[in-house]
Structure 1
Amino acid sequence: MHEMSVALSVVDQVERAAHSRGVAGVGAVHLDIGELAGVVPDSLAFCFELACAGTVLEGAALTTRPVPGRASCAPCGRAWDTGMPPDMVCAGCGSGATDLLAGRELRITEVHWADPPDPPAPTPATPRKES
């Protein structure tokens, strides 16, 4: 299950960024996952929770956004969604000379740092009695 290695890598990258910024916690991590990346989002979410244990990411939410596979034909310029399994033959001209434009992404797009705790409220000063 390579989702665990992906989760560990994401946690490592975010944890290093948190430490370099002096942040004590992470509230959420957002990822783009291409449909051709070979990552199962539900498995990744499970592994992410395990990988976060004992780190500054413990309790952080993971949000994933699917990115559809997209290809284009070099000879005629037509572009299409590849689907799964990917269709890499141009329906317009039948060419197999295609370029994959999207769908292999696995990218951290956003991190929400946890809010620092509120400082304690000041206690009102006790008036002095004058003698």
Structure 2
Amino acid sequence: MPKINFSIKTKKIIPDNFSNLSIYIIDNSSPSFIYSQNESLIFKDESLADIQNRLDGLKPTTKSLLNVNLPEGLSFKEIVSDKSDFHYFNQITLPDNRQLTILIYSSQSVDISSLIESVYWSYVQNSN
């Protein structure tokens, strides 16, 4: 499967004043990397493998913790933390069992609902 590039569409919805926003997106169903922006901030405290192990240990739910407008039939495993910095880790399983992992870090709390929606729809459109 070819590498999918979400850079252009994703960057359009990230406001300029969130320069500390870090994003890492992978397709767990294939070894293809998808997108990153300032990913070193996400992995400063734990590795990708550790984050994925934490997500794998969660029970899936059919409703996201965020107010997102996504189709029915998806399952979510999410971790949200805003102790000192904002972390959002999400593993979305699609009905065909493809998995999309979205990791976001910010030095401040931010509404990322529209970003999650945009990433999901870009993934679906570009991975078929």
TM-score, scaled relative to structure 1: 0.29
Larger Rg: 1
TM-score, scaled relative to structure 2: 0.30
